[in-house]
């Protein structure tokens, strides 16, 4: 039956064209955004996972920044400790040279004095962003010995999140046997009055038993004056310097180990961030080769659909010939 009120062929062609246009709109959206899952309505599960992981990746990026800041603090402290070790080694060489008979110890002491002042300058200057890990006084109530560095971001199986930190504890007290700072306090007016820490502790604090009867018990590396020392005093001075060097070397190795760990964590954070980006991409990114092929096919189907609708609409025009 042919009807001028109901054109079944045109209705069918129109429905097909609507479906094609809808598919084209979806494909064009994927092509323009590059996403196969751009919103929750596309795929709720994948969209939810991708959104969560993108959020975690931003947190990991913040951890990377924190690691960079922590690495800068450690590198500054290590550079200061390394420079201080070089200066103390130079003092050691001066003391050894002064043990030779006929050497003017007073003149050698003038050189040592400059090196001692340099040690104070190094310790006070090894600061990054207002934090100095080579000078620490635990006496004030506000003193915080534990220095923490954000080193990781963790998402647990139950969905809870937390940050992981690495702790480096500053210690200037000889009683603990684990001093790792150069000074407890620094006297800006009189460098030799700077106290505590490795350079401001006496021989007994550094675990050295002196043998000289004239040795001043409170002698430290930073206030040592060899100009009046006898042979026994010179031997005790060398023992004090050697003990200080060993303590400084130990502290430097701790900083170096921490720096290595931070470097490893930075590498891991970079790899983890890349892996998350890749994983999210597998879930939501569109395959542009596939989408471009699909778009081309839909464009062809659209043209054919328009042609089919035109044919269906024109078929009813043949009815006019019956009334001529």
For residue range 142-171, list pLDDT tens digits in order. Answer: 999 999 988 787 887 777 778 888 899 999
- Separation of alpha carbons 248 and 88, rounded Å: 10
Q: What's the chain's length in residues? A: 324
169 is written with which tokens?
């504890």
Are the C-beta atoms of residues 239 and 203 closer than 8 Å to each other?
A: yes
**91 inside domain:** yes
pLDDT for 4 equals 65
Closest CA to 245 of 91, 17, 113, 34: 91
Are the C-beta atoms of residues 163 and 184 closer than 8 Å to each other?
A: no
pLDDT for 177 equals 67
CATH number at residue 237: 1.20.1330.10
State the residue range of the domain holding 186.
Answer: 67-265
Please count the other Cβ atoms lying within 10 Å of the Cβ belonging to residue 260: 11
Closest CA to 241 of 147, 115, 157: 115
Which stretches in the chain have pLDDT values below 50? none
**20 inside domain:** no
Are the C-beta atoms of residues 168 and 216 closer than 8 Å to each other?
A: no
Question: Is the overall model pTM greater than 0.85, yes or no?
Answer: no
Are the C-beta atoms of residues 238 and 92 closer than 8 Å to each other?
A: yes
**18 inside domain:** no
203 is written with which tokens?
């021989």
Q: How many domains does the chain have?
A: 1
**23 inside domain:** no
Q: H or E segment at 216?
A: none
The pLDDT tens digits for 124-140 are: 999 998 899 999 999 99
**127 inside domain:** yes
């Amino acid at each position: 039956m042919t009807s001028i009120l109901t054109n079944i062929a045109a209705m069918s062609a129109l429905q097909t064209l609507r479906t094609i246009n809808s598919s084209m709109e979806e494909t064009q959206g994927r092509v323009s955004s590059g996403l196969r899952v751009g919103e929750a309505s596309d795929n709720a599960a994948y969209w939810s996972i991708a959104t969560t992981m993108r959020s975690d990746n931003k947190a990991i990026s913040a951890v990377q920044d924190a690691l960079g800041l922590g690495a800068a603090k450690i590198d500054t402290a290590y550079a200061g400790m390394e420079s201080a070790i070089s200066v103390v080694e130079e003092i050691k060489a001066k003391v050894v040279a002064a043990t030779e008979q006929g050497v003017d110890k007073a003149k050698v002491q003038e050189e040592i004095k400059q090196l001692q002042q340099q040690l104070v300058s190094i310790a006070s200057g090894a600061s990054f962003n207002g934090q100095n890990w080579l000078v620490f006084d635990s006496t004030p109530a506000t003193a915080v010995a534990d220095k923490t560095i954000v080193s990781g971001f963790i998402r647990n199986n139950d969905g809870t999140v937390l940050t992981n930190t690495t702790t480096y504890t500053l210690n200037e007290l000889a009683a603990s046997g684990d001093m790792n700072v150069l000074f407890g306090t620094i006297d800006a007016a009189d460098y030799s009055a700077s106290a505590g820490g490795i350079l401001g502790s006496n021989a007994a604090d550094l675990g050295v038993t002196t043998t000289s009867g004239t040795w001043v018990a409170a002698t430290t590396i930073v206030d040592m004056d060899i100009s009046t020392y006898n042979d026994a005093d010179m031997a005790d001075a060398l023992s004090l310097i050697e003990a200080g060097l060993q303590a400084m070397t130990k502290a430097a190795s701790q900083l170096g180990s921490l720096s290595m760990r931070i470097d490893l964590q930075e590498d891991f954070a970079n790899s983890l961030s890349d892996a998350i980006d890749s994983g999210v991409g597998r879930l939501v990114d569109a395959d542009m080769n596939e989408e471009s092929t699909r778009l081309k096919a839909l464009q062809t189907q659209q043209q054919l659909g328009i042609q089919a609708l035109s044919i269906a609409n024109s078929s009813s025009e043949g009815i006019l010939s019956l009334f001529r």
